[in-house]
């Protein structure tokens, strides 16, 4: 019985031994196939695995007509190889991979703004073409956001601290002459209608005497000096700027803007304070004092 059992065991071992090589052979065969597939895959992807993957194209681009271009963005240059029949939108995706700049934030230019829907062939992109890209990454935008707000606040604060007009050098040289001898009397804090006679006893920017006559029936402001009288249509006066004279707040310095910019301002000094509102309202067409 023991011998019989032993023979059965030996027979089973032999049978197992015969099957094992078959399994190993099958596994080896599958391994060879997998190895050959891996080798084939490695060979096919060897180019795309290199750092210059974007420049040399992807496997899906094989067999397509390619074009070599140079991408210029933020003072950096990138070489890119892309299918000639690829669209502008596809180009933006490639640029995103190169630079990290999202397509939506790109402004791509080649002989003008590059259209997303057209192919590079249609817009006649050639080998060696330089394609300009303008735009900022999201991180760049976030990085400059706060400083920009701070700068704006500083500018605003600076404007608030701006020195009064009467302290500025261009006005100081006139005001330092003091009041004209024939200056009209003033009433601080009062509002009066314009007098029927010209306002006189004032200086202009050159330090000469000047008088203002408001010709309401002709809708004109007459600015008279010793040399001549300028007849200005009130409708042509763009703005009126006024500020109390420091230390003499019952008098104002006043500018009539005769053109589109502040360079056209005609300055008058020592205007009695009680007439300031009436002058502004008359010149700017409000006329509620009449």
| CA pair distance 123, 114, nearest whole angstrom | 8
Per-residue pLDDT of the chain (290 residues; tens, 9 = 90+): 444 454 444 444 444 444 444 544 444 445 454 444 444 444 444 444 444 444 444 446 778 899 999 999 888 899 999 999 999 999 999 998 888 888 888 889 998 888 989 999 998 999 999 999 988 776 666 655 545 455 556 555 555 556 788 888 889 999 999 999 999 999 888 999 988 899 999 999 999 999 999 998 888 999 999 999 999 998 889 999 999 999 999 999 999 999 888 889 999 999 999 999 999 988 887 543 33
**Are 182 and 201 a contacting pair, CB within 8 Å?**
yes
3-class secondary structure per residue, 146-198: HHHHHHHHHHHHHHHCCCCHHHCHHHHHHHCCCCCCCCCCCCCCCCCCCCCCC
**SS3 for 213?**
strand
| CA pair distance 71, 132, nearest whole angstrom | 6
């Amino acid at each position: 019985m023991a011998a019989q059992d032993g023979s059965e065991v030996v027979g089973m071992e032999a049978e197992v031994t015969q099957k094992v090589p078959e399994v190993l052979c099958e596994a080896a065969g599958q391994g060879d196939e997998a190895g050959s597939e891996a080798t084939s895959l490695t060979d096919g992807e060897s180019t795309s695995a290199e750092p210059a993957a974007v420049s040399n194209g992807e496997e899906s681009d094989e067999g397509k007509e390619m074009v070599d271009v140079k991408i210029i963005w933020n003072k950096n240059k990138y070489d890119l190889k892309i299918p000639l029949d690829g669209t502008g939108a596809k180009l933006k995706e490639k640029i995103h991979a190169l630079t990290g700049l999202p397509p939506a934030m790109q402004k791509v230019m080649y002989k003008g703004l590059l259209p997303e829907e057209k192919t590079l062939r249609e817009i006649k992109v050639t080998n060696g073409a330089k394609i300009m890209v303008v735009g900022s990454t999201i991180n760049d935008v976030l990085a400059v956001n706060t400083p920009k707000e701070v700068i704006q606040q500083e500018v605003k604060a600076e404007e608030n601290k701006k020195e009064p007009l009467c302290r500025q050098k261009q006005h100081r040289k006139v005001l330092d002459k003091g009041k004209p001898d024939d200056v009209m009397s003033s009433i601080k804090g009062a509002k009066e209608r314009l007098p029927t006679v010209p306002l006189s006893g004032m200086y202009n920017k050159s330090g000469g005497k000047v008088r203002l006559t408001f010709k309401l029936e002709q809708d004109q402001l007459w600015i008279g000096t010793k040399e001549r009288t300028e007849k200005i249509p009130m409708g042509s006066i763009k703005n009126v700027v006024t500020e109390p004279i420091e230390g003499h707040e019952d008098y104002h310095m006043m500018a009539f803007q005769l053109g589109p910019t502040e360079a056209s301002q005609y300055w008058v000094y020592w205007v009695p304070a009680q007439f300031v509102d009436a002058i502004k309202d008359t010149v700017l067409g409000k006329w509620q004092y009449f």
